[in-house]
Amino acid sequence: MSSCARMPSQYYPLLIAFAIALILGAVILWLNHLAAKSVSTGGKVKATTYESGLPLLDASRKRVSVLFFLVAIDFVIFDVEAAFLYPWALVLREGAWPLFWAVIVFIGLILVGFAYVWRKGGLDLTPRRNVMPQLVPGDMR
């Protein structure tokens, strides 16, 4: 039997954790299926939303500005860099200066992207108004 066909014993804990996660997920879904109440369409009153047994004070479907979602997307994009910086910090001593300069270039690119989004107004949540300049009669610009 060649060494490529055998799985190293260092992967056993990973396989055990994966198996436990699959089994636990299946058990939770099965218990949810057993405990779930059957929902019948009881009409408009039954389908209304309420919290803590009290009816809502206002409509539950409110309009949300698109700017909110743009800022959320920007946050996710620029926050992902932290996920790349943690492993870098762990191996910095082994990689020395080349690794340091690679991350400096990475952070520089992130800052350029951040400056671009900021300059374009992607971080501004105030509504934009198209204000037309008042033309004075006889003023030809």
CB 121 within 8 A of CB 128: yes
According to the model, what pLDDT value does residue 53 have? 64
- pLDDT tens figures, 18-50: 999 999 999 999 998 888 876 656 666 666 666
What's the pTM value of the predicted model, to 2 decimals?
0.43
Find where tokens 């019948």 sit. Answer: 40
Question: CA-CA-CA-CA torsion for 64, 67, 68, 74, nearest 10 degrees?
Answer: 150
Instruction: Say whether pLDDT at 111 is over 70.
Output: yes
Q: Which residues is 55 bridged to in the sheet?
A: 50
Instruction: Say whether pLDDT at 15 is over 80.
Output: yes
* Phi, then psi, of 9 in degrees rounded to 5: -70, -15
Tell me the average pLDDT across 66-94. Answer: 80
More confident residue, 44 or 86: 86
Instruction: Say whether pLDDT at 2 is over 70.
Output: no
User: Measured between alpha carbons, how far is 18 from 9 in angstroms, rounded to an integer?
Assistant: 15
Average predicted confidence (pLDDT) for the chain = 77
Q: Which residues is 51 bridged to in the sheet?
A: 54
